[in-house]
Amino acid sequence: MELTSPTEFARETVQSVQEYSSLAARAIAGLFRRPRYFADIVYQADLIGFGSLPIVVLTGLFTGAVLALNSAHTLQRFGSLSLIGQLVSVGMVTELGPVLTGLMVAGRNSSGMASELGSMVVTEQIDAMRALGTDPLKKLVTPRVVSTVFMLFFLTIISDLLGLIGGAIVSTVIFGMDLHQFWSSAWQSLVFQDVFTGLTKPLLFGFIIATVGCYYGLSARGGTQGVGRATTQAVVASSVFILLVDFFATKFLMAIFGYR
């Protein structure tokens, strides 16, 4: 591993932040300029959304099941097993559903974007697009940002629903809880704050996944080895950013709505 001075490291970090901010801003600005590239948006939505559906379904289902299984033992000690529906619904909708779905989609799609765009960079396809008068950011980045934000929103809803189904299966089959009681408890415990929080985070996470993956892909240098390095960095960076943004978004929304 090559050692760098603190000054050089700080300079590279500031430069990376500037380049990423510029890419993110230009990706948003691309929404308001023609051409729209609707075909690319639909293609990326199919690739990102439906391609991630199996892993999102499995993650949501077993997360809800494990959450119900672990919490039931604690609730039984206090004779409050009937509260398991509330715990699963609030936990899945506000926190576990958005975060785990975002991490799964980041692992699958952020790496894919980085490798695809990185391969285009090292094979000089990006330069060829510029030579033909096409803006690579509008053609390649903006459709991926729009598709990821749009599809992650609905993938999170599916993950939340499957988490509740997993919790209901564990509660009724293993602990003998009445199914109607579980769903009534789960439904009545949710308030506007919970749903708004759980559906706001996927919009932020989707933007992070797409822009980070595209940034590292377009920054790839050094042939195939550089593409592999960019793919790894994209997954790590997007996952870390998701967890950081989740904390600050939760803190911000709690400050707005107040603590329950």
Q: Does the pLDDT at position 233 exceed 70?
A: yes
In this structure, is the dihedral angle defined by the CA atoms of residues 30, 99, 60 and 156, taken in order, positive or negative?
negative
Q: Does the pLDDT at position 182 exceed 60?
A: yes
Nearest CA among 20, 208, 230 for reference residue 111: 230
pLDDT at 226: 84
Q: Quick one: average pLDDT of 164-170?
A: 93
Report which of residues 78 and 102 the model is more confident about. Answer: 102
Q: Does the pLDDT at position 71 exceed 60?
A: yes
State the Cα angle at 235 between 35 and 213, rounded to 5°: 15
Eight-class DSSP state of 82 = G
Contact 212, 64 (CB under 8 A): no
Helical spans, DSSP H, in the chain: 6-29, 38-45, 51-77, 84-91, 97-105, 111-122, 125-131, 136, 142-173, 179-189, 192-218, 223-257
In this structure, is the dihedral angle defined by the CA atoms of residues 100, 105, 108 and 113, taken in order, positive or negative?
negative
pLDDT at 240: 95
pLDDT band at 166 (very low <50, low <70, confident <90, very high): very high
pLDDT band at 259 (very low <50, low <70, confident <90, very high): low
User: Averaging pLDDT over each range in 65-79, 173-187, 200-214, 225-239, which range is the top one?
Assistant: 200-214
pLDDT at 260: 55
> What are the residues whose beta carbons fall under 8 Å from the beta carbon of 226, sequence distance 6 or more?
118, 122, 220
Q: Does the pLDDT at position 2 exceed 60?
A: no
| pLDDT, averaged across the chain | 89
Q: Quick one: average pLDDT of 217-236?
A: 88
